[in-house]
Amino acid sequence: MKIAIIVQNLSFITGGPRLLLGLAKELLVMGDTVVVYTEDKVGDFFGELAQGIVARVVEPPVPAGPRRSGFFGWIRGKMREEWCDILWAKKVAEAMDPDFDVVNIHDFAYRVGYFYKKRNPKTRIIWQENQPLLFYVKRGKILYDLLGPLYWWVRKFSDKKYFRVMGGISVLDDLTKKQREARGFGNVRIVRAGVDFQKFYGP
């Protein structure tokens, strides 16, 4: 199969990029063709995993830029981030090869699946969700805690079109699985991440 893997941040030293690169490596071993699309280069920390993996950088058409301070700066920053994410997702979908059998989107890159599905209706979209979305964490500030949940409530409806194209969701734990099922998602499966003993073993 020909598989595209999409992620926004591949240079972060976190579990998500390591999980993604490990998946790409195993798919290559199985004989699949894999292309990774990202908005930044592979971090040096994951250099040994990235060897042999084709990673194409698609830079954001408009940089999100730093957030301004204060409540209204927070609102403007959130709106600009949303706009930039949508523009980037469109640009990635246009830059991708037209014949992928599977598109595996990670975390906040989920919008790419929607735009690519328009180009190639036969492709299967699988979302790897490593971090929970669609809920607000209270900040202990009145204005933030009033508008924050409203923002996520609006997102819940505006994002429905992006989620409709997904053929399945892979999550890491029971809590995220229950949250997704409560939101009406079907075909949610728990796929546990393994541990890289060779890199992290230290008695």
pLDDT score for 6: 95
Find out whether 188 and 181 touch, Cβ atoms under 8 Å: yes
- State whether residue 184 is helix, strand or coil: coil
102-150: pLDDT as tens digits:
999 998 899 999 999 999 999 999 999 877 665 666 767 777 777 767 7
Three-state SS annotation for 134-156: CCCCCCCCHHHHHHHHHHHHHHH
Closest CA to 53 of 88, 3, 117, 98: 3
47 token code pair: 């250099």
* Whole-number Å distance between alpha carbons of 132 and 34: 26
Q: Using alpha carbons only, what angle is made at residue 62 by residues 112 and 46, rounded to the nearest 5 degrees?
A: 60
pLDDT at residue 21 greater than cutoff 90: no
Residues in Cβ contact with 38 at an 8 Å cutoff, skipping those fewer than 6 apart: 6, 7, 8, 9, 10, 55, 56, 57, 58
Q: Which tops the pLDDT comparison, 195 or 84?
A: 84
pLDDT at 134: 59
Order of strands across the sheet that contains 102-106: 54-57, 33-38, 2-6, 102-106, 124-129, 166-171, 188-190
User: What are phi and psi for residue 146, nearest 5 degrees?
Assistant: -85, -45
**Whether residue 196 has pLDDT greater than 90:** no
Which whole number is the average pLDDT over 176-180? Answer: 85
In order of 12, 41, 175, 192, the CA distances from 199 in angstroms are 17, 21, 28, 18
- 23 vs 13: CA distance, rounded Å: 16
Distance CA 168, CA 183 (A): 14
Contact (Cβ atoms closer than 8 angstroms) between residue 79 and residue 65: no
